[in-house]
Structure 1
Amino acid sequence: MTDTVLDRFLRYVVIDTQSNAASSSQPSTDKQKNLGRLLVDELAALGLEDAHLDEHGNVYATVPGNVEKSVPVICLCSHMDTAPDFSGKDVKPQVVRAYAGGDIPLVGDPSRVIRVAEHPDLEQQIGHDIVTTDGTTLLGADDKAGIAEIISAAQYLLENPQIKHGAVKLLFTTDEEIGRGADKVDLAKLGARFGYTLDGGRIGDVENETFSADAVTIDITGVAMHPGTAKGRMENAIKIAADIVSRLPKDITPETTEGKVGFIHPTGITGAMEGAQIKLIIRDFADEGLAEKQALLRSLTESVLSEYPGSSFTFTVVQQYRNMKVVLDQHPEVMDNLIEAVKRVGLTPVQHSIRGGTDGSRLSFMGLPCPNIFTGGHAYHSPLEWISVQDMETTVRTIVELVKVWEQRAPEN
């Protein structure tokens, strides 16, 4: 196989793999397995004899080590699904060769333009080949770029046996975009000691910290009554729900916060006169901050319901993920080796905190310490998504250097 990282990427993005939070199955959409089966075939063609797709849609494979000394087994992970935020069907990628600067119009929807003023990173991409969509779908660089980069690096290692390395496990998951990517991962079968997700953005950016996250559901039971005889008796659950949302503090919302500031964010509201439901997410980098926001939301709900004596509510909290830095700080070699690899390809590592989560968040707390590595993608989850081919190639080189660092720093037997 002589495919480049671009060849792979273009092949993967045209496969519709959007996940669906409304589904209770794993994977949430069976079409994710279409990409999984293709990946298994490609990995098998490279000579990875254990490549397989499990019943949950996850793909496993191993690049065997080629040294006698004991090198910690590491895992490289990316997810196959794309976000439900925007259409991922019938993706039509376009490649802008030798980008000369300026705004990039998207041919499928003239109203959509990737503007330098809104995407200043384009100023660093002169001469690069830029991949975009036609403007009618998202691209899927999140995270099919990561998949293409991992498999390209695996092929390079296999074709260059003079590069000494330990065993490298490959893992491609489903349903990451809806928070279930690690739910059905079998870590015992995977057999890795440390991991890295390839799910980041700008090259050079490495991430060892995420939000801690909870989901909250508030179910409201009102008092239904015929509107003609409702005076003094009706308690409309829709209005109660609206009142709760309207009282959320304006300074702890996604649209008013950045950096290390968390938020409370309503994601859905449904209902009728007799009953309504509000779904929210709470985010903070510290568990204490998460608990404070949860208490604030509960107190606000109780205050609103005190004005409706005939109505009641239930307040349900589901833990989603926790800040992976808590785990990674106990294993400094994981980040140290990554930072060394980034330097070796000529980049200056920049450590960032993710205002979100990755599979690495869950995997870290499941026992696989797992920071996040850049893929080169930009403007994820939107029709303005774009990525540089040269940045993808840099990521491939970074993966190869990372594998080499782990071997070189492992003690001799």
Structure 2
Amino acid sequence: MINEKRVLDRFLEYIQIDSPTKDERKFADFLMKEMEKIGIEVYMDNAGEKVGSNSGNLIGKLKGNTDGETILFSAHMDTVSPGVGIKPQIRDGVIYSDGTTVLGGDDKAGIAAILEAIETIKEKDIPHGDIEIVFSIFEEGGLYGAKNLDYSKLDAKLGFVLDSGGDPGQIVVQGPAQNKINAKFIGKEAHAGVAPENGISAIQIASEAISNMNLLRVDEETTANIGLINGGGPTNIVAKEVIFEAEARSLKDEKLKEQTDHMVKCCEEAAKKFGGEVEVEVINAYGAFNVDENHDIVNKVKAACTNIGLEPYTSTTGGGSDTNILNINGITAVNLGIGEKKPHTLEEHLHIKDLENAARLALEIIKEYA
């Protein structure tokens, strides 16, 4: 039922409106006008003021014409860098950038699919319950839009996030919690040529700590990574201070704690070994989510997939998304595959058929809850 040309044109227009993280306002203003034109009541919250963005999250509402259950659709407006001046290219049914930027299918493909589905139900007068929409800011880099969303404006207890790289039919039912682990190693300055034995190298402490850590793929449910290390100075001075920024993720809270404690212990033992100091800060970035595969929301998506000829399958993910935050805030949500390939790279691309199928799936989910 969807208009295939319109959903493609819609997506191509969206990705050419710049919306890097914390600078989403131009795109948000455009979407507000488009949503109002479709007949969606739309409101912008004040999350931007809290997180340093020039826009808030968009919250849309469409009144139902049946007494079906209220459902929520969600996607994020911001894109990663380099994402300014995107010039889409279409080759053999696949949409690419020109190779100098990302494509922005993460997550404007989700937005295009959602709005295409809703415009279709309005045009075709398809029965539907109340529908709510959240288009969030500042998803990339911390899920800050969803964390600061005005949840008082929402009634839905079931949510569908369109923001996964799997093919349409993928239902992500489990995602990890993440801890940020920031460490500052403190040594003692000394002349590196004259009296190095009087110094304590912060670089040496940090190196010892990192070399003793279990990193990258720890097990099938747990990962860890050092993302940044910085410090030191001239080669003739024993380095006094080094910092690193790291993360740990796991699908299981107890494993996340175990991995985090291990990394902190490595830092402390390294500092003790060389006679230096270390200050470690652990910040929980977001919690895990786990939706039972027998939950009605999963069964409804599976039925919707089958209705339109897609093969449904459940999966887990190692990445965070607004799905984590919605679940924490009392909205049972799953993340749906929409075909984003190689996101966050210059090779990002999206098959047109996947964009169309994502819109068809959103429409069919609406019909399942009518």
Give TM-score, length-normalised by structure 1: 0.81
Distance 1:282 1:62 in 2: 37
Distance 2:293 2:360 in 1: 27
Q: Is the 8 A contact 1:222 1:237 kept in 2?
A: yes
> Which whole-Å deviations, capped at 9, do the CAs of 1:56-105 have from their partners, x for residues lacking one?
221111121001x3x22111000011124xx1111110012xx2xxxxxx
Alignment-derived partner of residue 23 in structure 1: none
Matches within 5 A, 1:14-93: 14-19=16-21, 29=22, 31-48=23-40, 50-55=41-46, 56=48, 57-67=56-66, 69=67, 71-84=68-81, 87-93=82-88
Distance 1:151 1:275 in 2: 51
Q: Is the 8 A contact 2:173 2:315 kept in 1?
A: yes
Q: Is the 8 A contact 1:215 1:318 kept in 2?
A: yes
Q: Is the 8 A contact 1:81 1:174 kept in 2?
A: yes
Alignment-derived partner of residue 406 in structure 1: 369
Alignment-derived partner of residue 293 in structure 1: 259
Q: Does 1:283 align with 2:272?
A: no
| Structure 2: segments with no counterpart, 5+ residues | 49-55, 233-238
Q: Is the 8 A contact 2:185 2:242 kept in 1?
A: yes
| Greater Cα offset, 152-161 or 271-280 | 271-280
Distance 1:224 1:347 in 2: 63
SS at match of 1:227: coil
Distance 1:35 1:230 in 2: 59
Shift of 1:228: 4.4
Distance 2:137 2:209 in 1: 34
Q: Which protein is richer in strand relative to its size?
A: 2
Distance 1:378 1:368 in 2: 27
Matches within 5 A, 1:75-224: 75-84=72-81, 87-96=82-91, 99=92, 129-161=93-125, 163-179=126-142, 180-201=144-165, 202-224=167-189
Equivalent of residue 329 in structure 1, options 292, 307, 317: 292
Alignment-derived partner of residue 6 in structure 1: 8
Distance 2:60 2:250 in 1: 35
2:8 aligned partner, one-letter code:
L
Q: Is the 8 A contact 2:221 2:252 kept in 1?
A: no
Q: Is the 8 A contact 1:211 1:354 kept in 2?
A: yes
Shift of 1:331: 8.4
2:281 aligned partner, one-letter code:
T
Q: Does 1:262 align with 2:257?
A: no
Distance 1:264 1:373 in 2: 25
Taking every aligned residue pair, what percent have the same amino acid on both sides? 28
Equivalent of residue 205 in structure 2, options 236, 240, 255: 240
Give TM-score, length-normalised by structure 2: 0.90
SS at match of 2:273: coil
> Which whole-Å deviations, capped at 9, do the CAs of 1:265-289 have from their partners, x for residues lacking one?
0011112322221111101111111
SS at match of 1:182: helix
Equivalent of residue 367 in structure 1, options 330, 340, 343: 330
Alignment-derived partner of residue 273 in structure 2: 307
Shift of 1:330: 9.8
2:187 aligned partner, one-letter code:
G
Alignment-derived partner of residue 25 in structure 1: none
Q: Does 1:320 align with 2:285?
A: yes
Distance 1:137 1:217 in 2: 30
Q: Is the 8 A contact 2:187 2:277 kept in 1?
A: yes
Distance 1:53 1:322 in 2: 25
| Structure 1: segments with no counterpart, 5+ residues | 20-28, 100-128, 408-413
Distance 2:348 2:266 in 1: 38
Q: Is the 8 A contact 2:170 2:315 kept in 1?
A: yes
| Greater Cα offset, 286-295 or 240-249 | 240-249
Q: Is the 8 A contact 2:185 2:271 kept in 1?
A: no
Pick closer, same or farther for the CA change 1:245–1:44 going to 2, 3 Å: same
1:354 aligned partner, one-letter code:
T
> Which whole-Å deviations, capped at 9, do the CAs of 1:200-251 have from their partners, x for residues lacking one?
12222110111121111111121122334433221121232233223323xx
Corresponding pairs, count: 351
Equivalent of residue 352 in structure 1, options 307, 315, 324: 315
Distance 1:74 1:54 in 2: 19
Pick closer, same or farther for the CA change 1:319–1:331 going to 2, 3 Å: farther
Shift of 1:198: 0.4
Distance 2:20 2:317 in 1: 22
1:322 aligned partner, one-letter code:
G
User: How large is the Cα RMSD of the aligned pairs?
Assistant: 1.8
Q: Is the 8 A contact 1:331 1:369 kept in 2?
A: no
Shift of 1:16: 2.3
SS at match of 1:213: strand
Shift of 1:182: 1.0
Q: Is the 8 A contact 2:176 2:319 kept in 1?
A: yes
Shift of 1:389: 1.4
1:175 aligned partner, one-letter code:
F
> Which whole-Å deviations, capped at 9, do the CAs of 1:4-26 have from their partners, x for residues lacking one?
1111111111222222xxxxxxx
Q: Is the 8 A contact 1:221 1:237 kept in 2?
A: yes
